[in-house]
Amino acid sequence: MTRADHRHRHLDRIAEVRAGRRAEKVGYPVRVRETEVVRTAMVGDGLLRVTLGGAGTQGFEAHSPDEHVKLIFPDPDGALRLPEPSGAMLRWPRPSPTTRQYTVRRYDPAAGEIDIDIVPHDGGLASDWARAARPGATVHVAGPPGGLIVPHSYDRYLLAGDITALPAIARWLEELPRTARGWAFVEVADAAQEIELSAPEGVEVRWLHRGDRPPGTGDALARAVTAVAVPGGERVYVWAAGEAGQLKPLRRWVRDVLRLERADHDITGYWKRGVADFDEDGH
């Protein structure tokens, strides 16, 4: 009984943070899972959804909209090198195997399915794999190592990002209380990349179209977000992700204008123009 209590201690901590006043990252026990591709499908014109299933999905941990997993790919010579369990963590081989990090869009424990939404782009390792993936193909998944647990006690929530952040924003909107209020800003190429979102009635969703501008350029997202006026006396939580350079004005706005404490915002560069396999957090 003691072992079971220890093993599930993170669930108690998640519940405590969710019921509290400040956001906190909570770690989960990390595992490597062998999964298989169930199906692939486009979600709008901008996301390719890979649905993973199989016995390896049983007991998967999913508690936070921005949690991520690593897809582990074989070496160029075809060898697959996997991390090994080390307590609640993983011990990775050296040199590190080739991985790509993605948001967990959905976990359905009844169906035993995990959805990963990938932005297709030419020459991307995971993108090329996803385009070619067929049902039954095997892929190993590591994580999630934990997630950001945000209380439901904020007066308003502000979510922002480009299409790489759309899977997390979509999940955010699904998992917020239906009474939540706030804003969600998503920059996409055009209306064809917009998708249906299950936002609470009090959350205003705004799609921003970048048109012919290359991804990761322009200031439309920053201008739209920083035009928001947070009512005086209200507590707001800000979550933003996308191209690292485009997020700099948002970091300044959160610090200098909103003057939010560190626990009241999370801004993460998911990618950086001209940098392959960029990882701001070093996961």
Inside any domain, residue 283: no
Confidence check: pLDDT of 6 > 60? no
Q: What percent of the chain has pLDDT over 70?
A: 95
pLDDT at 276: 66
Give the end-to-end CA distance of the chain in Å, rounded to a whole number: 33
Q: Are residues 60 and 142 in the same domain?
A: yes
What is the overall mean pLDDT for the chain? 93
pLDDT at 134: 97
Inside any domain, residue 76: yes
Point out the domain boundary residue: 147, 168, 185. 147
Higher pLDDT, 281 or 207: 207
Inside any domain, residue 100: yes
Token digits for 248? Answer: 């700099």
Q: Are residues 180 and 260 in the same domain?
A: yes
DSSP for residue 66: T
Point out the domain boundary residue: 92, 115, 147. 147
Q: Are residues 214 and 128 in the same domain?
A: no
Inside any domain, residue 66: yes
pLDDT at 281: 42
In this structure, are residues 100 and 127 in contact, taking their beta carbons and an 8 Å threshold?
no
Its domain, for residue 50, covers 8-147
pLDDT at 278: 59
Q: pTM for the whole thing?
A: 0.93
pLDDT at 267: 98
Point out the domain boundary residue: 147, 167, 202. 147
Q: How confident is the model at residue 178 (pLDDT cuts 50, 70, 90)?
A: very high
Inside any domain, residue 280: no
Predicted confidence (pLDDT) per residue in 124-176, tens digit: 899 999 999 999 999 999 999 999 999 999 999 999 999 999 999 999 999 99
DSSP for residue 122: T
What Rg, from alpha-carbon coordinates, does the chain have? 19
Return d(Cα 50, Cα 193) in angstroms, integer.
17
pLDDT at 275: 74
Higher pLDDT, 198 or 1: 198
Return d(Cα 208, Cα 115) in angstroms, integer.
25
Q: Are residues 23 and 143 in the same domain?
A: yes
Inside any domain, residue 278: no
Q: Are residues 121 and 162 in the same domain?
A: no
Query: Domain with 17 in it: what CATH number?
Result: 2.40.30.10
Q: Are residues 118 and 159 in the same domain?
A: no
**Residue 119: CB atoms within 10 Å:** 21
Q: Are residues 123 and 170 in the same domain?
A: no
| Positive or negative: CA dihedral 108, 109, 110, 114 | positive
Inside any domain, residue 128: yes
Q: How confident is the model at residue 282 (pLDDT cuts 50, 70, 90)?
A: very low
Instruction: Select from 82, 86, 76 the least CA-distant residue to 33.
Output: 82
pLDDT at 283: 30
Listed in sequence order, the DSSP H helices in the chain are 2-7, 9-18, 125-132, 166-175, 220-226, 244-252
Amino acid identity for residue 135 in this structure = P
- Mean pLDDT in residue range 183-188: 98
Residue written as tokens 């298989």? 36
Inside any domain, residue 35: yes
Surface-to-core class of residue 96, CB atoms within 10 Å of its CB (0-12 exposed, 13-18 middle, 19+ buried): exposed
pLDDT at 210: 96
Q: Are residues 196 and 258 in the same domain?
A: yes
Q: Are residues 51 and 123 in the same domain?
A: yes
Query: Domain with 184 in it: what CATH number?
Result: 3.40.50.80
Token digits for 4? Answer: 């079971």
Amino acid identity for residue 105 in this structure = R
pLDDT at 5: 47
Q: Are residues 214 and 199 in the same domain?
A: yes
Instruction: Select from 179, 178, 184 the least CA-distant residue to 157.
Output: 184
Predicted confidence (pLDDT) per residue in 70-124, tens digit: 999 999 999 999 999 998 899 999 999 999 999 999 999 999 999 999 999 888 8
Q: Are residues 34 and 56 in the same domain?
A: yes
- Mean pLDDT in residue range 241-262: 97
Into how many domains does the chain fold?
Answer: 2
Q: Are residues 15 and 143 in the same domain?
A: yes
